[in-house]
Structure 1
Amino acid sequence: MPSKPNILFIMADQLRADYLGCNGHPTIKTPTIDELATKGINFTRAYTQAPVCGPSRMSFYTGRYASSHGATYNNVPLKLSEKTIGDYLRPQGYRVGLVGKTHMKKDAEGMARLGIDPESSRGVLVSQCGFEPFERDDGLHPDQSVSPDLAYNCYLREQGYLGDNPWHEYANSGQDENGDVQSGWYMRNSHLSARVKEEHSETAYTTNRAIDFIRETKDEPWCLHLSYIKPHWPYIAPAPYHNMYSADDVLACNATTAEKDNLHPVIEAFMTHHESVNFSRQEVRENVIPVYMGLITQLDTHLKRLFDYLKEIGEYDNTVVVFTADHGDYLGDHWLGEKELFHEASARIPMIIHDPRSTAESTRGVNDDRLIEAIDLLPTFLDISGAEPCSHILEGRSLIPVINGQSDKTKWRRYAISEADYAWREARNELALAPDQTRAVMITDERWKYIHYEHFRPQLFDLKNDPQEQIDLAEKESHRDVCVEMEAALYDWYRHRKIRTTVSNETVAQQTGKAHSRGYLFGLW
């Protein structure tokens, strides 16, 4: 194998960690992902840095916590000063491309201030989160005015799907028994087959474009961020995946009436959102979850097609494959829909890495339960590429020693962190908060999960004795010491974030105590 293997960085949008066969789901069919886990290492306790699309992805791409990079919610621009995957890997000779979604908004104000032309080569990279946008597709909305010329829309028209917005009218709409077109944005229509043929669906098209990128990359290592839109809503799938599963496959909802006896104010406010009210109905869960599962199996099918192509051209054994997600999906658990808060259904993510190099032989097929953070991937990629670790900027840590079986778990991190900023959500008005009063932070040490909310009491869950997170212990006198300990750990984390990012630790070390030799003659007699 060449010294710099390819990196295939696969992300599914809104995929729960427990909706994979290799992670214990009893009926879902994910043979390709399951096989990847048997050939690689499956990190079963991985957490997103922010359980919502935009800030989660910005943490993946920068290797930094959400409060460090500042893009704390969807459509909050990532500031120009933040380096991303492409900035680190291109100097190492990698072609760094994107196929699919990033949910990144460019810092247009910063670009204008510095006179960066958005159409220039530099401007394009800055606008696309540091990736070469081989095929960016963040999805659309039913209003075709958003982006009627999206490449996928153009592709659908070429296949004969006519209209202003075939993405919505065909790929994300179905046809009822009366022949009427029904939008997949309404969950009552999730059971309908999408009007698009499966081979022309979003997941199929995205995979095609990934193969195109790999085919067109010659004589250089590549890092491809392959970022699928599904199984994120709209929850609608093409045949045969729309009815591959039934209500019998819907697991019991992790929600109890006792859970409502002492509701946290923030949780209670989120329960009033439309998605929470609707997903609290079993009728909705039985209509949506089988389709959610079908979308996951469809994704698994196309990953096999992609892996088969890599094997065909002789690149599979020269490619480190990472499979993960930006966050989970409540699907009615805890009386909630969507994501954004910190229960396991929302904040825990799948994380499977297959490193084909001989150094990783000892961990093949291992389920590793140490605490992993999304920000660990970028330091891992730097390690693979041979780049300097940039320890003064990156807040994650390389997983290569773990993958190579050289990392003692007892010396690994003790805590994992996830953050939220719910200023844009209806819950903020329900709680009468100002936009800068909506911070929340989760910290877990595997046993305890502690959540700090600005302006409200905390939450505490015992993940060992209450893995379903049904009993909030924060107000129990018997657990006061645990809360004090976890709050202290959270304060310690705040104090150690990386804030001096423009000068390396090595430079500081070289210049320490050298002021006089550099001509600064202060303090002398």
Structure 2
Amino acid sequence: MKIYKSIFLICSIFFLCEFKPGEVKKADKKPNIVYILVDQWRAQATGYAGDKNAHTPNLDRLAAQSVNVHNAVSGMPVCSPHRASLLTGQYPLTHGVFMNDVLLDTNKVTLGKVLTQNGYTTGIIGKWHVDGHGRRSYIPPTRQQGFEYWKVLECTHNYNHSEYYIGDSPERKVWDGYDVIAQADDASKYIKEKARQDKPFALIISMGAPHDPYQTAPEKYRKMYENKELILRDNIPADKRERAIETLRGYYSHIAAIDDNIGKLWQTLKDAGVEENTILVFSADHGDLLGSHGDWNKQQPYEESIRVPFLIHYPAVLGKTAQTSDLLLNTPDIMPTLLGMVGISIPNSVEGKDFSKVLKGESKNKVEETLISCVQPFGQWSRARGGKEYRGIVTQRYTYTRDLNGPWLLFDNEKDPFQLNNLVGKPEVKKIQADLDKRLNKVLRERNDQFRPGLEYVRQWNYVIDETETVPYNKINYEGKPIVE
């Protein structure tokens, strides 16, 4: 009997040494989420996507251990609409944020609220841009959409004097130096702290770069491109090439800086022992034309504007080998897909699709087209600059759009990757155009989108616009006083 007791005691000690209670809890808890959102980074501008100009060694290594959703699109390629759709899983005509600098309804069911209600510690660092009370204004907790850790400014692209607010304090602070570095350092501290706790955490790091101004990255990164010979895309007109080269030098400098800091964040996850059970995502709100088609910035339905990078790294479930997914992932699909990945029920308010089972290989992809749109042109693509309303679809092969006058653009992206040959009205694609038009009509019916002139929607949502049909930056502080910049 004493022998059996001794054996039992030895086994019990061995079990306790091998399986600590904290480790069991860590293994059982839901995965963490770290979502890196950058501003105006087009999908084509990475080494793993084949861009020889881009210095992105960390992202290239990450892609080699992740799922690359290479058909991810920004359904309305401009800042505030993307962020509102990311947070709500809804399309812009539902949540109402189809222009920059307007408020996302604080009663909305958002990613931050859902994760917090399901036991997550939540945080966001960097750019917000869905508050509509002025780009430098204080955002009180009642408008923070469920996020607990809060180091945020509505919007700035002054990367070397970048301001922010903490939590419920109306005191405006300034990030130390280039904000990408400071924000990544702060995010690393957050990850280290939360990794030691039992609760899962979800953190969004929302960086303003590589959005213009392009020539403001730290000198170390700008020197990398001072004398570098750049390869230009075939769709940049000859008279725009000189400007494009100068612009791209700065753009790629920001990208190199961000890549270094993505490497830092990834290493933090490894050092904290949580990489395996963390969903790490890298994506952007939209792209940048950068001279392609003779234009700059976003909103337009060209590949450089609508196509965004989307890497998802989740070793515990997706493994650590490079995979490429053909999913037509649209902005409203991101919230439900993340919730599906962590095992949280999708709220009824969500319109996007949960692709988590497709990513995990548990079901087949059945989505053959996805919606792209501009409800109301404004700002950098105002009507005076050629902006106009459009609706369109992207398929595995084609991009097709209509403006208010009828068919506008049709590109065969397989044969014409630089979208130089508009096929609208050409006899050889008559059946293809008719089919795409029919599919677009179907998507619009599903979305209850009547495709009316933009100003009708502006009046419907009571937005105040200026003479360029743009919502002005409401430059007031938290006390309602004008801000002098």
What TM-score range do you get, normalising by the shorter chain? 0.7 to 0.9
> Is 1:397 aligned to residue 353 of structure 2?
yes
> Is 1:408 aligned to residue 434 of structure 2?
no
2:190 corresponds to which residue?
A: 213
> Is 1:201 aligned to residue 171 of structure 2?
no
> Is contact 2:163-2:174 (8 Å) kept?
no
> Is contact 1:318-1:356 (8 Å) kept?
yes
1:196-235 per-position Cα deviation (integer Å, ceiling 9, x unaligned): xxxx311111112212322443331111011111111111
> Is contact 1:393-1:498 (8 Å) kept?
no
How far the C-alpha of 1:252 sits from its partner, in A, is 2.1
> Is 1:64 aligned to residue 41 of structure 2?
no
1:245 corresponds to which residue?
A: 225
1:103-159 per-position Cα deviation (integer Å, ceiling 9, x unaligned): 112589xxxxxxxxx99xxx94552343335211344377x9x99776798446xx6
- For residues 406 and 367 of structure 1, the distance between their equivalents in structure 2, rounded to whole angstroms, comes to 16
1:162-200 per-position Cα deviation (integer Å, ceiling 9, x unaligned): xxxxxxxxxxxxxxxxxxxxxxxxxxxxxxxxxxxxxx3
How far the C-alpha of 1:66 sits from its partner, in A, is 1.7
- For residues 497 and 484 of structure 1, the distance between their equivalents in structure 2, rounded to whole angstroms, comes to 20
> Is contact 1:247-1:287 (8 Å) kept?
no
Question: CA 1:91–1:139 in structure 2 vs 1: closer, same or farther (change >3 Å)?
Answer: closer
- For residues 65 and 385 of structure 2, the distance between their equivalents in structure 1, rounded to whole angstroms, comes to 48
> Is 1:42 aligned to residue 83 of structure 2?
no
- Which stretch has the larger CA shift, 207-216 or 248-257? 248-257
Q: How does 1:293-442 map to 2 (within 5 A)?
A: 293-357=252-316, 359-361=317-319, 364-390=321-347, 392-409=348-365, 412-425=366-379, 428-430=382-384, 438-442=388-392
How far the C-alpha of 1:446 sits from its partner, in A, is 1.6
1:179 corresponds to which residue?
A: none
Question: CA 1:280–1:83 in structure 2 vs 1: closer, same or farther (change >3 Å)?
Answer: farther
Q: Secondary structure of the equivalent of 1:301?
A: helix
- For residues 164 and 115 of structure 2, the distance between their equivalents in structure 1, rounded to whole angstroms, comes to 31
Letter in 2 for 1:384: M
Question: CA 1:141–1:348 in structure 2 vs 1: closer, same or farther (change >3 Å)?
Answer: closer
Question: CA 1:380–1:36 in structure 2 vs 1: closer, same or farther (change >3 Å)?
Answer: same
How far the C-alpha of 1:430 sits from its partner, in A, is 3.6
1:290 corresponds to which residue?
A: 249
Match of 1:52 among 63, 73, 78: 78
> Is contact 2:281-2:312 (8 Å) kept?
yes
1:367-407 per-position Cα deviation (integer Å, ceiling 9, x unaligned): 222322222221122123322123x4322222322332223
1:131 corresponds to which residue?
A: 147
- For residues 149 and 445 of structure 1, the distance between their equivalents in structure 2, rounded to whole angstroms, comes to 40
Aligned length: 413
How far the C-alpha of 1:350 sits from its partner, in A, is 0.3
1:79 corresponds to which residue?
A: 105
TM-score in terms of structure 2 length: 0.78
Question: CA 1:355–1:284 in structure 2 vs 1: closer, same or farther (change >3 Å)?
Answer: same
- For residues 414 and 148 of structure 1, the distance between their equivalents in structure 2, rounded to whole angstroms, comes to 42
2:425 corresponds to which residue?
A: 475
How far the C-alpha of 1:85 sits from its partner, in A, is 0.4
2:401 corresponds to which residue?
A: 451
- For residues 303 and 390 of structure 2, the distance between their equivalents in structure 1, rounded to whole angstroms, comes to 16
Question: CA 1:130–1:302 in structure 2 vs 1: closer, same or farther (change >3 Å)?
Answer: same
> Is contact 1:246-1:286 (8 Å) kept?
no
> Where in structure 2 are there 5+ consecutive unaligned residues?
1-26, 450-485
Alignment root-mean-square deviation, CA: 3.0
2:201 corresponds to which residue?
A: 222
Q: How does 1:67-216 map to 2 (within 5 A)?
A: 67-106=93-132, 124-132=140-148, 134-140=150-156, 154-155=173-174, 200-216=177-193
> Where in structure 1 are there 5+ consecutive unaligned residues?
109-117, 160-199, 258-278, 500-525
Question: CA 1:96–1:150 in structure 2 vs 1: closer, same or farther (change >3 Å)?
Answer: closer
How far the C-alpha of 1:310 sits from its partner, in A, is 2.0
1:75-124 per-position Cα deviation (integer Å, ceiling 9, x unaligned): 1222234211012111110112110112112589xxxxxxxxx99xxx94
Question: CA 1:393–1:148 in structure 2 vs 1: closer, same or farther (change >3 Å)?
Answer: closer
Q: Secondary structure of the equivalent of 1:230?
A: strand
- For residues 431 and 272 of structure 2, the distance between their equivalents in structure 1, rounded to whole angstroms, comes to 58
Letter in 1 for 2:224: M
Question: CA 1:33–1:149 in structure 2 vs 1: closer, same or farther (change >3 Å)?
Answer: closer
> Is contact 1:54-1:103 (8 Å) kept?
yes
- For residues 148 and 464 of structure 1, the distance between their equivalents in structure 2, rounded to whole angstroms, comes to 43
- For residues 50 and 162 of structure 2, the distance between their equivalents in structure 1, rounded to whole angstroms, comes to 39
- For residues 326 and 404 of structure 2, the distance between their equivalents in structure 1, rounded to whole angstroms, comes to 30
> Is contact 1:4-1:384 (8 Å) kept?
no
1:509 corresponds to which residue?
A: none
Letter in 2 for 1:419: S
- For residues 137 and 254 of structure 1, the distance between their equivalents in structure 2, rounded to whole angstroms, comes to 37
How far the C-alpha of 1:288 sits from its partner, in A, is 1.9
Q: How does 1:7-26 map to 2 (within 5 A)?
A: 7-26=33-52
> Is contact 2:122-2:149 (8 Å) kept?
no
Letter in 1 for 2:153: D
Letter in 2 for 1:214: I
- Which stretch has the larger CA shift, 130-139 or 84-93? 130-139
Q: Secondary structure of the equivalent of 2:432?
A: helix
Identity %: 28
Q: Secondary structure of the equivalent of 2:191?
A: helix
How far the C-alpha of 1:494 sits from its partner, in A, is 2.0
- For residues 163 and 344 of structure 2, the distance between their equivalents in structure 1, rounded to whole angstroms, comes to 40
- For residues 60 and 157 of structure 2, the distance between their equivalents in structure 1, rounded to whole angstroms, comes to 33
Question: CA 1:154–1:282 in structure 2 vs 1: closer, same or farther (change >3 Å)?
Answer: same
Q: Secondary structure of the equivalent of 1:417?
A: strand
